[in-house]
Amino acid sequence: MAVSKKKRPARKRPTKKSPQVPRKFPDLRAHLKRVGRIPAEYALVLLTGACALVIAWHQGLVALVVEADASHISVVIVAVFLLVATLGGLRARELSVALEVVGAYKALDPVAARALETRLSARVAFMARTSSLLVTLGLIGTVIGFIVALSGVDPAMVGNVNAIGPMVGSLVEGMGIALYTTLVGAMFGIWTALLHAVLAAGATRVYLRALVP
């Protein structure tokens, strides 16, 4: 009597999983059309400086600077800062949108993530240059102030009592220009540097988020 042989079930060959290719980051231009919120750190630095300006206004310091600075370099420094702070707010919005978009994707290619960070950092690098520019404008005001102070001094008229008053007035005017422009340039230069530090940290945060799966 023939014994029937049981058929062994065919073994399934293990299928090789295709290696996962890191996804490249999509173009941000399509996502920047929607409104992104300004990061809280950027808004906090802006509001802190604005509160300091309001306090200085109530104390009469702003009017004192405007009145003493006959060269109007302080007004130029403030105007440049307002323009750069506005552009920085737009860049902060881009960073906020980039952070949200990156969070919706899987881990990116490290090369693409680094390229993204470089691109975002380059878009906020102008604030670092503007910080140095504002300080330089303050130093230019210092030089102009000394020129104004010394231009009214005549060594030949030092012994003349009637000429002392105008010379002292010229010295006071020049020293006012020198000191106040230096102060305004340094303050707004520091303020701009803090805003740039916030934006640079945001670009690094996008890069780190892009590497996390």
> Does a structural domain hold residue 93?
yes
Q: Express each pLDDT in 16-25 by its tens digit.
A: 444 443 444 5
Q: Express each pLDDT in 137-167 by its tens digit.
A: 999 999 999 998 888 777 766 666 676 777 7
> Does a structural domain hold residue 30?
no
> Does a structural domain hold residue 24?
no
Backbone angles phi and psi of 23, in degrees to 5: -80, 140
Region of residue 106 (left: phi > 0; alpha: psi -120 to 50; beta: else):
beta
Cα 26 from chain centroid? 25
Give the pLDDT score at 213.
54
> Does a structural domain hold residue 12?
no
> Does a structural domain hold residue 133?
yes
Per the structure, the count of domains in the chain is 1
What is the token pair recorded at 121?
């950092």
- Give the residues of the chain that fall short of pLDDT 50: 1-2, 14, 16-24, 32, 35
Strands (E), the chain: none
State the residue range of the domain holding 158: 36-211
